Amino acid sequence: MISIRFLGTGGARFVVARQIRASGGMWFRFEGSGGSTQIHVDPGPGALVRATSALPPCEPLELDALILSHKHLDHSGDINAMIEAMTHGGWRRRGALLAPRDAFEGEPVIFPYAAKFVAQRHILTERSAPYRVNDVAIETSIRHKHGVETYGLHFTFEGTTVSYLPCGKFFEGLIEDYRAHAPDLLIVNVLRYRDAMKVDHLTFDEARMVIAGVRPKVAVMTHFGTKMLERNPNRLAAELEDELGLRVLAAYDGWLLDATTEIEAVAAALR
Ligand SMILES: [Zn+2]
Ligand SMILES: [Zn+2]
């Protein structure tokens, strides 16, 4: 069983700075015959507070891994706090930490002292071979076009694939890469609605192209900027669902997505 708790669904500077939507990232739970694996992805500002105040709480001491798709603040603001929480303030060396090289080096967002608390550190590279956290295999995507080193993540667990497409500019290679992994569920960061500015983020129209090209059973939009929020992400998701003929959902703060049930419902309807 796979579930995802959205500890934050906001993106972009204004939404995060004013906490119009929270920015705590996503907490994945993979539960199977071999036990449970918990992975927290992109712990932005407030992640630790959002995790511990969720109902039921997301317990940092039970985390198996922390992952950064990239080092921008809205994805990494609480990474050091989360490392300390996962390792009992550094007293219990445990867990895994996966991030691109530039999150560790140069102008690091992961403090070197904190990185040492983690049992396994792994530098993400483009289209990596599977990295294993218990029974979960994690592969990275093609490098996103996004200023700093940025990779998407393809999680495979007991025959189900969940892909996370973080921030970045649209290019054709994105569709090819994500389609090649045939995700059952695709989470897409859709920061902007529509604009002429050439920024390093997907607009809603580009997200539509990606979702239409990848054709997951279920697509989830998240990481919204102001213009997306003004347009009502739920309404946009419903429109996209009708247009593309696949399940499309808009994430909201605190949402616990039962990914397995959503995927199975779509699969049953197709049979
Ligand atoms: Zn972002
Ligand atoms: Zn970014």
Measured in Å, residue 143 CA sits from the centre of ligand 1 at 15
C-beta of residue 197 within 8 angstroms of C-beta of residue 236: no
Measured in Å, residue 188 CA sits from the centre of ligand 2 at 13
Measured in Å, residue 199 CA sits from the centre of ligand 2 at 11
Measured in Å, residue 239 CA sits from the centre of ligand 2 at 27
Q: Which has the closest alpha carbon to 137: 115, 117, 162, 118?
A: 162
What integer pLDDT is reported at residue 127 of this predicted model?
A: 97
Q: How many domains does the chain have?
A: 1
What integer pLDDT is reported at residue 195 of this predicted model?
A: 77
Measured in Å, residue 181 CA sits from the centre of ligand 1 at 23
Measured in Å, residue 168 CA sits from the centre of ligand 2 at 7
- In angstroms, the Cα distances linking 64 to 2, 120, 238 are 15, 10, 35
- In angstroms, the Cα distances linking 60 to 64, 95, 113 are 9, 10, 18
Measured in Å, residue 162 CA sits from the centre of ligand 2 at 20
Q: Which has the closest alpha carbon to 24: 46, 3, 41?
A: 46
**Angle subtended by helix axes 204-214 and 233-244, to nearest 10:** 40
Residue range of the domain that includes 11: 2-270
HSE, side-chain direction, 13 A CA sphere, residue 207? 33
C-beta of residue 175 within 8 angstroms of C-beta of residue 149: no
Measured in Å, residue 79 CA sits from the centre of ligand 2 at 15
User: Is the pTM above the cut of 0.95?
Assistant: yes
The CATH number given to whatever domain includes residue 261 is: 3.60.15.10
Task: Going from the first residue of the chain to its last (271 residues), give the mean pLDDT of each consecutive group of 10, the final group possibly shorter.
Answer: 98 93 98 96 98 97 98 98 97 98 97 98 97 98 97 98 97 97 98 82 95 98 96 98 96 98 93 83
What integer pLDDT is reported at residue 196 of this predicted model?
A: 67
